[in-house]
């Protein structure tokens, strides 16, 4: 079953009351009147133009179909989700190959998360150093995290998926271990 380009509408007769949202497909089929036509195990809301899956349910009535096409399938591949990495190709659900631009955008967010993680780790260590309250181990951790952040900053995200991300620091017990990371950079 497929309801294409579902949108909200106001029917003349409102069988479920006035406080309910009503939906219909581009060819005029009412969503609620079509519920029993979805007989396969899984129901999907997909983007009408791309087929990208944006919602998955076993009960079609739990979907919010406005702006989507609704289809049903009996099988889903392992790991399928609504992250944008999967699409319905007209017959089955398949992994989607993202564009290079999408890969770069994802890498940009990954890099921002890693930079934030480093900054969060650095802040209390830097405070301890600034207040002359840091242990040798904390000083070593600070050097390691700052080194990591410096190595992360110039990473060229346009090379996605072939990015060589620097390794985040592990536990350092001495300045010597932390400075080895600097020498290797």
The pLDDT value recorded for residue 17 is: 80
Class of residue 33 by CB neighbours under 10 A (exposed 0-12, middle 13-18, buried 19+): exposed
Class of residue 140 by CB neighbours under 10 A (exposed 0-12, middle 13-18, buried 19+): buried
Based on the fold, state whether residues 79 and 140 are members of the same structural domain: no
| Segment 102-119 mean pLDDT | 92
Question: Please, what's the b/e burial string for 89-107 (b: 16 or more CB within 10 A of its CB; e: otherwise)?
Answer: eeeebeebeeeeeebbebb
The pLDDT value recorded for residue 173 is: 47
Domain count, the chain: 2
The pLDDT value recorded for residue 170 is: 80
Cα dihedral 41, 72, 83, 156, rounded to 10, equals 130
Based on the fold, state whether residues 180 and 108 are members of the same structural domain: yes
DSSP string, 107-165: HHHHHHHHHHHHHHHHHHHHHHHHTT---HHHHHHHHHHHHHHHHHTT--GGGTTS--P
Based on the fold, state whether residues 81 and 132 are members of the same structural domain: no
Reported confidence tier of residue 171, pLDDT bands at 50, 70, 90? low
Q: Tens digit of pLDDT for each residue in 130-169?
A: 999 999 999 999 999 999 999 999 999 998 888 999 999 9
Based on the fold, state whether residues 6 and 51 are members of the same structural domain: yes
The pLDDT value recorded for residue 12 is: 85
Give the Cα-Cα-Cα angle 75, 68, 96 (nearest 5 degrees).
50
CA-CA distance, 155 to 159, in Å (whole number)? Answer: 9
Based on the fold, state whether residues 66 and 121 are members of the same structural domain: no
Based on the fold, state whether residues 10 and 72 are members of the same structural domain: yes
**Cβ distance 152 to 118 under 8 Å?**
yes
86 has a pLDDT exceeding 70: yes
18 has a pLDDT exceeding 60: yes
Final residue of a structural domain among 95, 128, 160 = 95
The pLDDT value recorded for residue 30 is: 92
CA-CA distance, 6 to 22, in Å (whole number)? Answer: 10
| Segment 40-57 mean pLDDT | 95
Based on the fold, state whether residues 114 and 87 are members of the same structural domain: no
Final residue of a structural domain among 95, 122, 148 = 95
**Distance from the Cα of residue 80 to its chain's centroid:** 12
42 has a pLDDT exceeding 80: yes
CA-CA distance, 9 to 24, in Å (whole number)? Answer: 7
Mean pLDDT, the chain, as a whole number? 89
> 165 versus 182: which is more confidently predicted?
165
Parent domain of 86:
2-95
| Segment 94-117 mean pLDDT | 91
The pLDDT value recorded for residue 175 is: 52
> 58 versus 173: which is more confidently predicted?
58
> 17 versus 55: which is more confidently predicted?
55
The pLDDT value recorded for residue 99 is: 86
Final residue of a structural domain among 95, 115, 146 = 95
| Whole-angstrom Cα Rg for the chain | 26
Based on the fold, state whether residues 62 and 6 are members of the same structural domain: yes
Based on the fold, state whether residues 26 and 69 are members of the same structural domain: yes
State the helix-helix crossing angle for 136-152 and 175-184, rounded to 10 degrees.
20
Based on the fold, state whether residues 109 and 61 are members of the same structural domain: no
Based on the fold, state whether residues 137 and 178 are members of the same structural domain: yes
Based on the fold, state whether residues 69 and 109 are members of the same structural domain: no
């Amino acid at each position: 079953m497929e309801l294409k380009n579902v949108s909200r509408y106001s029917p003349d007769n409102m069988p479920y009351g006035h406080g309910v949202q009503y939906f219909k497909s581009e060819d005029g089929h009412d969503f609620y009147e079509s519920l029993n036509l979805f007989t396969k195990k899984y129901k999907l809301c997909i983007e009408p133009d791309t087929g990208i899956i944006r919602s998955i349910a076993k009960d079609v009535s739990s979907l919010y179909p406005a702006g989507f096409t609704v289809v049903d399938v009996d099988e889903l591949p392992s790991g399928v989700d609504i992250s944008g990495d999967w699409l319905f190709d007209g017959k089955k659900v398949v992994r989607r190959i993202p564009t290079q631009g999408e890969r770069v955008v994802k890498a940009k967010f990954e890099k921002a998360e890693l930079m934030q993680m480093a900054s969060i780790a650095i802040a209390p260590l830097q405070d301890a150093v600034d207040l002359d309250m840091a242990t040798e181990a904390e000083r070593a951790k600070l050097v390691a995290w700052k080194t990591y952040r410096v190595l992360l900053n110039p990473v060229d995200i346009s090379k996605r998926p072939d990015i060589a991300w620097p390794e985040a620091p592990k536990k350092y017990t001495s300045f010597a271990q932390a400075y080895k990371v600097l020498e290797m950079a």
